[in-house]
Amino acid sequence: LFLLLLPLLLVPLALLAKSRRGRRTPPLSLLVVAGSGGHTTEILRLLSCLSESYSPRHYIFADSDKMSEAKIRSFEQKRAETFPNSKFTLHRIPRSREVRQSWTSSVVTTLYSLLYSLPLTNKLKPDLILCNGPGTCVPVCVSALLLGLLGIKRSIIVYVESICRVETLSLSGKILYYFSDYFIVQWPDLKKKYPKSVYLGRIV
């Protein structure tokens, strides 16, 4: 009797699986915070693993960053060969903190960067924010948090700590550890020190 009923049970399951495969994930507006040098290289490696559902992609980087724009354009040009309908935008904001900049002046420049980030983030209204440590991500994420508190737009913040951070977090990481929705680390020692983090091994 079981053998006779088995085909009848499998048919609806097969139809359900087929209908699920046919569904297309709704597009997600993605805001990516790029940083000079290795930060941009790592974030683009992460983006190469994402499907076409993450569109449009809005890139934000510091106005003094001369390398990120070229890297992003090259990445998107190659991506368009696979996903011809791929869309992206580029945006610059004042750098929040330069290398070896004093803490006192960093507060001023970060607030200045925040003034630029808030209207830009409000205009883009991303569903998801992805960042991996450049100082530029702090005012952008704070802007997104403010928009969420005001009930304008709730954005999910995903922070991926750089692969070069083995035992200690970056300054951006120490700040956004408390505010990000998902905080991902790539070394087990960081997971031990920061329980909220998610350890996924090396992902870039």
pLDDT in tens, 105-138: 777 888 999 999 999 999 999 999 999 988 899 9
Q: Give the single-character DSSP code of 89.
A: E
What is the per-residue pLDDT for 109?
85
- Best CA proximity match to 196, nearest among 154, 161, 163, 164: 161
Kindly tell me the burial class for residue 157, based on how many C-beta atoms sit within 10 Å of its own C-beta (0-12, 13-18, 19 or more).
buried
Decide: 109 and 12 in contact? Cβ < 8 Å: no
Phi, psi of 125 (to 5 degrees): 45, 65
pTM of this structure: 0.83
Please give the pLDDT value at position 18: 52
Question: Residue 80's pLDDT is what?
Answer: 93
| Strand-by-strand arrangement of the 128-131 sheet | 88-93, 57-62, 30-33, 128-131, 156-160, 182-185, 198-199
Instruction: Name the stretches of the chain with pLDDT < 70.
Output: 1-25, 98-104
Domain ranges across the chain:
28-199
Structure tokens at 42: 């790592």
d(CA 183, CA 199): 9
Give the per-residue pLDDT at 26: 76
Give me the pLDDT at residue 192, please.
94
As given in the structure block, the two tokens for residue 131 are 């960042």
What CATH number matches the domain at 28-199, 3.30.2130.10, 3.30.70.1400, 3.40.605.10, 3.40.50.2000?
3.40.50.2000
**Around Cβ 71, how many Cβ atoms within 10 Å?**
19
Rounded to whole angstroms, the Cα distance separating 122 from 128 reads 13
Identify the pLDDT of residue 85: 87
State the pLDDT at residue 102.
Answer: 67
107: left (phi over 0), alpha (psi -120 to 50) or beta: alpha
pLDDT for res 5: 38
Q: Pull the structure tokens for residue 49.
A: 């693993």
Cβ atoms within 10 Å of 172's Cβ, excluding its own: 25
User: Residue holding tokens 């737009």?
Assistant: 153
Type and span of the H or E element at 82: helix 68-82
